A and B are shown apart, each in its own frame.
Chain A
Amino acid sequence: MEYVVEMLKIRKEFPGVVACDDITLQLAKGEIHALLGENGAGKSTLMSILFGLYQPDRGTIKIRGKEEKIANPNVANDLKIGMVHQHFKLVHNFTVTENIILGIEQKKGIVVDRKGASKKIKELSVQYGLNVEPDSLISNISVGMQQRVEILKMLYRDAEVLIFDEPTAVLTPQEVQELMRIMKDLIKEGKSIILITHKLKEIKAVADRCTIIRRGQYVGTVDVKETSTEKMAEMMVGRKISFGIEKKEATPGENALEIRNLSVKNKVGVMGLKEFSLDVKCGEIVGIAGVDGNGQGELASALIGLQKSESGEIFLRNKEISGLSIRERIENRVSHISDDRQKYGLILEYTLDENLILKKYYREPYSIKGMLNYDEIHRYGEKIIEDFDIRAGRGGETTVRSMSGGNQQKLVVGREIDSNPDLLIAVQPTRGLDVGAIEYIHKRLIEQRDKGRAVLMISLELDEILGLSDRVAVINNGELVGIVNAKETNEAEIGLMMTGIKRGEADEDQIQ
């Protein structure tokens, strides 16, 4: 086989952790090569090494057969290696074009040739069916589009080896489909791709081969067609994983949350959520299914108090809370797992310990009379790290910015579940987590339910919605389409309802 990239026996140590230990990865020309491993296994680190962001402590890298030192991303660039990072690196008040040419601006005299660049971007966009508008501002386009900008950034630099670090974690299922198509097109044009993802389904769908690592160590490389997803998962976690979600029958009690005719404006000032009503009982999980951007964000924001509602009421245990501040709601035991952990859930400059007390630092025993009690904070940190298996190099003292994406998510989930909420609002709770961690988080959510707590889960993953929820509320265009029992429905029906067609209407439509 002809390899474009060979990373041989790569080792990289950070203070307190060996992120990569003798890892070997060989990328054949024209293949999509998946890189699979648990949260914190060292995938992002390995790819950052290939991209020149970190230097390996040991090991060799060969590009097109020739041994190379990749001292910085510029060298990677020259070697035609491009990367889409797990957390995008775009300047928000710049246009698409400005972001793409940043750092390699072509000059016409002394001014930057924006027109020429914009034209080339347009051409590339058409060639690969990316549909990106060169002159839009980054802050005005969706996350899916932003990712395509990152792809264009690589293509603009003529990259031939494309690294995608968890590209699908932030995408809606529709966007994922699109991305897969784009990746296949890229292969046809002679590119080679390394794809990091925790979704075995996606690996099955597009990848040719898959390299599996566990806790920084190389486990093996398999042919995707010949290997079952169960096998891959087992290689990755080192034990058997149950994919089905096991749970007892729910025993719902009285209403914990009652939403009555709630209307909320979205960012541009139009009603994003319209006259929405829903009950969530103690001891049940209600899943909200819907295509991204159909009012889920407004619903979550209004429930936690980040956004004022225009009209309607929210009752928590029969108490109207829509006038309460965010903190008052937290004190009324509303917990919230956000879908954008870095923006809403974490202070990246703070340590793991400090982030765990973000919502209760002012209470005893974490602080006494306005003074932080670091002993207690540390002890609490150790407990949560243990409970939720958070892996971080320097334990509670680790700066969150240096933690792997999945472990950041576990931190948020751990913090929110541990506060023993009456109502847990979980938005994409397993985003970016490996299958083992997902299994674990799911168990914890069900455990919350069984303890008689109300869980409102918003997710774009239909599997997750159907597997975890007791009832499913489908939302479309800010309105409630209908509520169905999870056991009495299936993906097809929910999918249909997500387009706005009410239950029972479907057949009539077909007859007409």
Chain B
Amino acid sequence: MKIRFNRDYLLSLIAVILGLIAGAILMIVTNNNPFEGYNYLFRGGTMNMQRIGNTIATATPLIFAGLSVTFAFRTGLFNIGASGQMLIGGLCATAIALNVSLPKILLLPLMIIVAFIAGGLWGSIAGFLKAKFNVHEVVATIMLNWIAYWTVYYMVPLYLKAEFLETESRRIPSEASLRIEWLRDFFDGSYINLGIVLAIIVAIIVAFILDKTTLGYELKAVGYNRTAAETAGIDVNRNIMLSMGIAGGLAGLAGLSLYAGIATNMQIGVLPMQGFDGIAVSLLGANSPLGVFFAAIFFGLLHSGKGFMTAMTGIPPEIADTIIATIIYFAATSVVVDRFLENRRKRRETK
């Protein structure tokens, strides 16, 4: 178990390096100096407290989304629906934020619970369809993404709309925001918020559930070998629904951290990209909560640094996106790298 663990991380690291090399080549091709480019990219994400705060803030929804994908994946399910679950979780949390007046210390926990439950219910629809009618979860979650998209499109203008703008909700009051003053001040006015604290706690809880509890034992058993799990008396359908439910809940929290943490309201007509990036984060993080955490921070760094890089060098911001895409590609094809390493090791052994 331990050995495998390290090996997975090594593969992820190689994927990252290959991605960076590919990015460097692109920079050279476009007549830029890659050292300069990476220097600014890195500094853009870490130069001062404010930028570090922004990097962490950008990473926060990615951590939740990555955990969501990872959780489902450990049960053998592919959750492409984190985006939709984020929308529903965010929508319900925003509805609470705009309609319930409570002191912050009570309102935030309420919003967290509501976002988790709403996203969870949305996710378990796909789980239910899979368990009862054997509808593939990829199909179901993609469709649910669009249903969520249109639900937000319909609900926000109808019930939560801003005074003049039809296309977005009212701004949530500061009691309902995950942002808090002293944290913002500490990070020099960055939009970092309590979401990161929640993300760390949740990542630990997820790791704990997967590794130490009977629930995790069941979920993983179903993921590895459904038939054997069923034969051993494990209720496979219940586990599928539960897994999708928890995955959906985690994505719901991603929605909360996006709409009540980074943003201050919800816009209609946007499917949050973080839901899809969560797949990449999970892949790069080798489907382990700790790995997800670091992968998300890394992606957050790329996202928040690319603006600075562009401003300072004229390297188009698409380069950063290309790097991300390349890394995803290498992480996804890490089997090939794995083979390569294995062969090299063997060759060295025979010598």
Query: A347-B221, A362-B214 in contact; A71/B228 too (CB < 8 A)?
Result: no
Residues of the A chain whose Cβ atoms lie less than 8 Å from the Cβ of B231: 304, 306, 326, 336, 338, 344-345
Q: Nearest CB to that of B233 among chain A residues?
A: A327
With A55-B346, A371-B212: A306-B230 Cβ-Cβ less than 8 Å: yes
Tell whether A142 is near chain B: CB-to-CB under 8 Å.
Answer: no
Q: Which of A326, A351, A361, A371 contacts B230 (CB 8 A)?
A: A326
Residue B229 CB within 8 A of the other chain: yes
Question: Measured between C-beta atoms, what is the minimum distance from B348 to chain A in Å?
Answer: 10
Query: Closest CB of chain B to A488's CB: distance in Å?
Result: 36
Are B225 and A348 within 8 A (Cβ)?
yes
Q: How many A-B residue pairs have CB under 8 A?
A: 76
Q: Which residues of B contact A348 (CB under 8 A)?
A: 224-225
Is B102's CB within 8 Å of the partner chain A?
A: no
Contact residue among A55, A343, A347, A397 (Cβ-Cβ distance under 8 Å from B224): A347
Say whether A367 contacts B214, CB under 8 Å: yes
Q: Is the CB of B214 within 8 A of A71?
A: no
What's the nearest-Cβ distance from chain B to residue A450, in Å? 27
| Complex interface: chain B residues within 8 A of A72 (CB) | 343, 346
Report yes or no: A350 in contact with B224, Cβ–Cβ below 8 A.
yes
Contacts of A345 in B (CB 8 A): 228, 231
Interface size on B (CB < 8 Å)?
25
Q: In residues 322-365 of chain A, which contact B (Cβ within 8 Å)?
A: 325-327, 329-330, 336, 338, 343-351, 354, 358-359, 361-362
B227 touching A343 by the CB < 8 A rule? yes
Is B213 an interface residue, CB under 8 A from the partner?
yes
Flag if B233 contacts A330 (CB, 8 Å).
yes
Distance A348 CA – B221 CA, assembled complex (angstroms)? 10
In the complex the two chains form, what is the Cα distance from A338 to B232 in whole Å?
11
Cβ–Cβ contact B233 & A359, under 8 A: yes
The reply to whether A346 and B350 contact each other, CB–CB distance below 8 Å, is: no
B243-283: CB near A (< 8 Å → 1, else 0) gives: 00000000000000000000000000000000000000000
Closest to B343 in A: A72
Task: Tell me, yes or no, whether A143 is within 8 Å of chain B by CB.
Answer: no
- Complex formed: what's the CA distance from A489 to B239 in Å? 49
User: Does A145 interact with chain B (Cβ within 8 Å)?
Assistant: no
Q: Does residue A372 face the partner (Cβ distance < 8 Å to B)? A: yes
| Interface assignment of B215: CB less than 8 Å from any CB of chain A | yes
Question: How far apart sit A393 and B234, CA to CA, in the bound complex (Å)?
Answer: 29
Which among B218, B220, B231 has the highest number of chain A CB atoms within 10 Å? B231
Give me 24 A-to-B residue pairs in the complex whose CB atoms sit less than 8 angstroms apart, sorted by A's number.
Answer: A69-B350, A71-B343, A72-B346, A306-B231, A326-B230, A327-B234, A343-B225, A344-B231, A346-B228, A347-B221, A347-B225, A349-B220, A349-B225, A350-B224, A351-B1, A358-B221, A358-B228, A359-B232, A361-B217, A362-B214, A367-B213, A371-B213, A372-B217, A399-B1
Q: 12 other contacts beyond A358-B232, A371-B213, A372-B212, with CB at 8 A cut-off?
A: A69-B350, A71-B343, A326-B232, A326-B233, A330-B232, A343-B225, A344-B227, A347-B225, A350-B224, A361-B217, A397-B1, A399-B1
